[in-house]
Amino acid sequence: MKIKTADFVISNTEVSKCPPELLPEYAFIGRSNVGKSSLINMLVDRKNLAKTSGKPGKTQLINHFLINKEWFLVDLPGYGYAQISKDKRRSFQEFITAYFLKRRQLICTFILIDIRHEPQKIDLEFMRFLGEREIPFCIIFTKADKVATTKMGSYIKSYQKKLIEAGWVSMPTHFITSATSNRGKDDVLNYIDEINNQLEE
C-alpha cells in the first residue's frame, strides 16, 4: 500500500463524536513511551502527523486520521502513564473502553510493545480485555533498532512463552518495526491493505 494522503479529521473523548463514515478503522494503542507517534508518522510517511514528545502521555484524545480517503487510522492515548492524575487516568479508561465496545467501524487494533521489554501486567490485561470481547488485535513490536538482529528471535520467543503462560494458545499476529529504519512499514501497511480488500469482496 502506498500512502497518498493522510489527513487529520477530529480529536475527541466521545465515541458519539467520532466520524460517522462507515470506513474501516485501525486503532493504535500501547503503554506510554512505546514509540506510538513515531511509528504512526513512519507508516504514513509524515514527520508530524502524530505529535511526538519526549514526555510520555502526549496523546490524550481519540485522534482520527483519514488515510487515502479510504480508511481511518485511530491514534489512542497510551495507557499506564503514572505521572497523570488518577481522575485523568480514569477518564482515559472510560472513553477508551467506550471506543472499543461501541465503535462498529473498528476492524483491528494494533497493540504496541517495546521489543526490549517482557510482557507487562497492563499489556496482558488489555489483550485479555480485547480477546474476551472478540475484538481482533495484532502486536507491533517497536524500537527494533535498539536490539541486535541476532537476538531478535530470542526476544520474540521469550514474549511468546510469557503469553502462553498467561493463557494464550498461540502468539497473535505480530510485526517487528523500527521508526528509525522504517523496518516493518510495508508489512503493517500490506496487512491493512489485505484486510481492506477482503472487506470489499
Cβ pair 108, 195 in contact under 8 A? yes
CATH 3.40.50.300 correct for 6-192: yes
3 state SS of 65: strand
- For residue 52, the one-letter residue type is T
The amino acid that residue 58 corresponds to is K
pLDDT per residue rounded down to tens, the chain (201 residues): 999 999 999 999 889 999 999 999 999 999 888 999 999 999 999 887 876 544 444 457 899 999 999 999 999 987 765 454 455 556 557 888 899 999 999 999 999 999 998 888 888 888 999 999 999 999 999 999 999 988 888 889 988 998 998 889 889 999 999 999 999 999 999 999 999 999 987
Model confidence, pTM = 0.90
Non-local (6+) Cβ contacts of 152 within 8 A are 115, 144, 176
Q: Determine the pLDDT at residue 31.
A: 87
pLDDT at 174: 96
Report helix angle 185-200 to 36-44, nearest 10: 70
